[in-house]
Structure 1
Amino acid sequence: MAGINLVEVAREAKAPRGSVYHYFPGGRDQLLDEAVALAAHTGRRLIERAAGAAATPAEFVEGLFTAGASWIDATSHSGGCPIAAAMFSAEVESPALQQRLRDAMQDWSSAIQDAYAKLGLTGAAARELAACTLMAFHGAMLLAKAKPTTGAFAAASRMVKAALPSSGTLRTGAQRKQPQPKPPARAK
């Protein structure tokens, strides 16, 4: 992020510098804000497309991770998540930009949770599984960049699908810790 400036953008885009300043009168901060907005929108659309094509939570997971693998493959493994990259960047000093990055991640988590809810998982189950899905997706993206293969997406997809309940509800951490009632004693 430190290397991003409007002069470099103009040079890379082979555009007149004046045009870049015309479209980004707020300078570098406006450019970064708009890049974050575009990345957030793109991520949400990816989630919504996978959800719209799915009839079950497993189909949603499969579609989401397949789309991620296709995207990273199409970028020759040079792509990544600009939101996550910016969140880890020490150069993001603007509190407003930091908040927009957090908002983007929260929006994605909410979109995944909404997808699960439409497919039958609700409440804490959908929330917990949405967080798991988002973590697995970003982990797969990181591994796919480190080792140029889309196998990480397939493995992450299998992991998330294994966490899906067969009954349509996912037990939350608190529910898993509760002891199961004992069956009634038989009369002798």
Structure 2
Amino acid sequence: MDLEARVAELERRLDALEADPPPRPEAPEGDFWALEGWKERLAALGAETGGVLFTGAVTLPTGERYAWQQAAPTTDLLDEGTDRADGTRSADSFAALGHPVRLRLLREILAGRRTAAELTALDGVGTSGQVYHHLRQLVAAGWLHTTGRGRHEVPGARVVPLLVLLSAATP
């Protein structure tokens, strides 16, 4: 399949997803197997205040597969010692995601548009200078890294956490 046909097919798939997004799956009532296992582990650790667990296994439109799980007791999350004393590291990470164009760029990169040229050609993302500014912000916060020759990718360890944040922010 030639490049133009591949791009046309990717654009068709993206248009279909944006026009009619799939419904968000809901866990069947009483079916909290991951939560129950996590609660058992917390009890074994003596973590009386509970904790948070997120996990995911995804296949991106590019065919790349990622599986990830992260967990933390509540005390660790609320302890200022896990972040700089003033919370700057967390705030910087969230701030990088706080612009609609940056979120769009991340989604486009996950979907396979990886070069700065492909990203600046998108409608509604601004000038090339603005796109490069957004990319620098995302790289500085660790949501992206540069793989060379103007190519960007979301680091593997950030794919599922990013999707968790997008899911949590969707009403």
Taking structure 1 as the reference length, what is the TM-score of the superposition? 0.22
Higher helix proportion, which one? 1
Give 1 or 2 for the bigger CA radius of gyration: 1
Higher RCO (Cα < 8 Å, 6 or more apart): 1
Taking structure 2 as the reference length, what is the TM-score of the superposition? 0.23
